[in-house]
Structure 1
């Protein structure tokens, strides 16, 4: 794991404390202390570090549209102010954190690149600010734990997919991708320097569908090549769905040798080996097949215990175990997944794209075709879709209405203002298109996945589809162009039509791990009951106990979706227990 910690004094008189080293000389996670007045910085040996004048860049950085490491110009960090920070976020991408003195050298700007997989958390500790990649590094720098933030636990349960600045540990905040922290004596100020809205809307739309497919293919190629540089052998998690197949097809053009790994469970929706085999055969790559087993999962343990948020899903312990075995078998030094593809390729069943087509499309025929596709996907009548789309046009705000998940939460907290969806990207300009607002709402969820992935790979792990180049390319496409003939993600399908089997490109359904989750739930009913009914969430008053008891007492085959929600509660309960 790439790790770092920095101590920045918040008063002129206060000098930073020394960060304690960890690990041995041969340990890739061993921390090396670098004194950069007036702050201390400690980094692990496996994290790239570049100096440009008085600026320090941690991680990988690329120029926009390029996939070779950037050669930063001498003026990269000169006269740094907010307009300069916006230009950096516009002209560079990657997984990087830049620490730069401000123009008058009274303080520092700490910039995290959009969708960066290099985490960045910060907390005040007396008269200093501690900035670090994880809680272990934070503790090494002198941070002391203050307990769980219960309001933020409730928010996470209600708004799981919306990333937030505040974490679920008291006093710890996260610097989200595309944001900048200004630190000076007596001041810590947050600003947003990158927004998808700067790249979105009809002023940026591409004017040709064929060009749109080429744009998407090139962006995926750029992100994939940049993400895999330096790798000798890779493993791509290949489910057989569109997103992972697109990633595998892009990876096959870059010369990095790799194997595919397909994971399956018992049951139809959890077994997609036949589709993964089609892709592997077409691309001429070896495929490793493995099966999730219930005994791979320990519900009492959270793999996110060292993180300030309960991001881990317990069923992913099975994925982590099987991925570790595949890495040992192949000697791979990199793993990849197609996470976030549904979001950036706009796989949403909504009338918003139809509303956009009615307002901005070239003809009613185009709007009707989009409405027919949405109707097929949502299994409703096309007349219903058109009526709702027409009404959507006249709604006061184009903003996407994010659903709040309150099932099994106590009625005492359901009306809490903290549970209102709140993210700067969810606030569209007044004249924005409803479909674009819905697309960006999905990108908000992709940001959470890209920046807080819960897969514990034994080697470096990347998610190229949920990256700045791909997101910016996708936002240049009118929302209704993503739908055709009852299918979504059409531009991504067209971009790889010459590289993937038609059976993959024309799939209308996709597999899920839900059957595996159901098996875990069924095998652990007594444990789940004990964890939740005698646990911290109940003691904190966050759970609707009578409703939960009724669900836990239900006998017979697992049905419906309540078990998925209950497993979310279990995952949070395990994380809370790990914090003690």
Structure 2
């Protein structure tokens, strides 16, 4: 993994091409040095400047440094990610005439581009964000992997295209010295705890969605194209036993491909089904004990360490545990500052801690992300399936606390689509803002209509929104802040494409989830792991928000600095009531964390 940066400019009828300044480009690149501490480089040619920070994983020699120019001299690339089938691609008949100068996966992309142009993307199996500058046509191609595992932000305005792996790099450019808050994105953040693509928290900056590519020509014309999507509607015709066998084959292949590295690697092990299966597959393909890492809390109800130990012992891993003590508050602001947009998924806290400890031992860690999206593992799926058969009940009063019976009545009275979105909601914007005029919340609705069956609708919508804008952001930022590469075997494109075409009731039915996944690996995992109730990466936020963290949040949110745009939008009376209810026993910890993160983010990026 690495960090990439770029600057593209052009001349037009009303504009003279802006000169690319090496000093500014270097400053942008240096701002993301944590993503690639091993080396850096800059290329400037006419209307394009490319820069990158390298975390060396494949071919550790200087031959793998970037920006990398093809042996023909026709194109130059900066690339962040890993191409897991690069060894297979290198032997393609069409690439036999290309003179490779390194053994990197980076150069494979260059060779494919010179042979197939932008169609090169269709051959890539992995995670990536890259930019290729064509010295012949002066065009720039920018692409992001199918699911959006690797980030890519850009600004396109007034004869200028800037892009970077993180927003903080873009903010070093003078064009963004005066940036403005996107109020619709604030509404989305308050509701979900993250900002959905293609918008960002800033009006001037956009996200390139996963599965899309951007091409800009020397005249400044911009084209953004979707090159890939999942198909949940065309189902496969095969037996359950054949599908079960194929699931196991694809998972094992995906894990094996992600074990290719020229540096030490390990795995995050939570003790849940997904990470346990990944570790089991790694142990099968490794001649030496796997290094595994788990994180736990003092509060027993949030602790899964005992289950992680069962798997570690079964497969003889070199296992390490990290405990997060209640005094973590000193790191809270540091973790919040890693994210360039407000980001309220509290599991980013243990993810940051485990990444920090893991990096002391390895450079690459495999994880279990994707099992829930592939095989319908979230408990909300089984809850929603049951809710279909419950008679609709009237909605409660709007001002009732969003807990207990009132919450249940509210959900049961909604349409399926609204109920699904509500289960993702942290704060109703109207419950915390002064104004009652709310921005559109169509982030999830535009995906919901695509698949035919109800469960497929939920899976597809989660993959397009919650996975891309929450889970993948969390893992990328928390790991790269610690210069650690994280790989997700269960998000392999071949596996996803296969499972999307399986009947939905092979994944979840009644109160059962991950049915075919568990069946495929029933002879591999300890029975205690298979039977274990899903816990998720939960943290004791309600408890923390009744301690030092809550005191700090209350001081920040109820203070009155005149320069704060965020505080001017929030209704302090509503928030004060929320704090009072929380201290008296109504659990509002996650909602308060959502608001605290927004205010802390503003201090870092707007004031």
1:556, distance to aligned residue in structure 2 (A): 5.3
Matches within 5 A, 1:271-310: 271-298=303-330, 301-305=333-337, 307-310=339-342
Change (3 A) 1:128 1:564: same
Q: Indicate conservation of the 8 Å contact 2:336/2:601, yes or no.
A: yes
- The residue number in structure 2 matching 1:182 is 215
Partners of 1:350 and 1:230 in 2: CA distance: 37
- The residue number in structure 2 matching 1:567 is 593
* CA deviations over 1:355-412 (Å, ceiling 9, x no partner): xxxxxxxxxxxxxxxxxxx4xx67969963999xxxxxxx999999523554364465
* CA deviations over 1:323-350 (Å, ceiling 9, x no partner): 423543xx31222332343223212457
Change (3 A) 1:275 1:183: same
* CA deviations over 1:135-188 (Å, ceiling 9, x no partner): 443355555333342411222221336731111123111112111112122323
Partners of 2:221 and 2:388 in 1: CA distance: 55
- The residue number in structure 2 matching 1:543 is 570
Q: Indicate conservation of the 8 Å contact 2:149/2:468, yes or no.
A: no
- The residue number in structure 1 matching 2:5 is 5
1:529, distance to aligned residue in structure 2 (A): 0.7
Q: Normalising by the residue count of structure 1, what TM-score does the alignment of the two structures yield?
A: 0.80
Matches within 5 A, 1:90-169: 90-100=122-132, 105=137, 107-124=139-156, 126-139=158-171, 143-151=175-183, 152-160=185-193, 163-169=196-202
Indicate the structure whose relative CO is greater, using CA pairs within 8 Å and at least 6 residues apart: 1
1:467, distance to aligned residue in structure 2 (A): 4.0
Matches within 5 A, 1:44-443: 44-46=53-55, 54=75, 56=77, 58-60=79-81, 62=83, 66=85, 68=87, 70-71=89-90, 73=94, 76-77=112-113, 88-100=120-132, 105=137, 107-124=139-156, 126-139=158-171, 143-151=175-183, 152-160=185-193, 163-184=196-217, 185-196=219-230, 199-201=231-233, 203-255=234-286, 257-298=289-330, 301-305=333-337, 307-311=339-343, 313=345, 316-317=348-349, 319-328=351-360, 331-348=361-378, 374=382, 384=390, 402-403=421-422, 404-407=425-428, 409-410=431-432, 415-422=437-444, 425-428=447-450, 432-443=452-463
SS in 2 for 1:20: helix
SS in 2 for 1:147: coil
Q: CA RMSD in A?
A: 3.8
Q: Give the alignment partner of residue 468 of structure 2, picking from 406, 425, 447.
A: 447
Change (3 A) 1:118 1:295: same
Partners of 1:305 and 1:468 in 2: CA distance: 31
* CA deviations over 1:279-323 (Å, ceiling 9, x no partner): 112222132223211222337625353643123656644553454
Say whether 1:16 aligns with 2:50: no
Partners of 2:370 and 2:560 in 1: CA distance: 32
Change (3 A) 1:132 1:552: same
Change (3 A) 1:304 1:91: farther
Unaligned runs of 5+ in 2: 57-63, 96-110, 394-413
Q: Indicate conservation of the 8 Å contact 1:5/1:141, yes or no.
A: no
1:223, distance to aligned residue in structure 2 (A): 3.3
- The residue number in structure 2 matching 1:355 is none
Flag the structure with higher helix content: 2
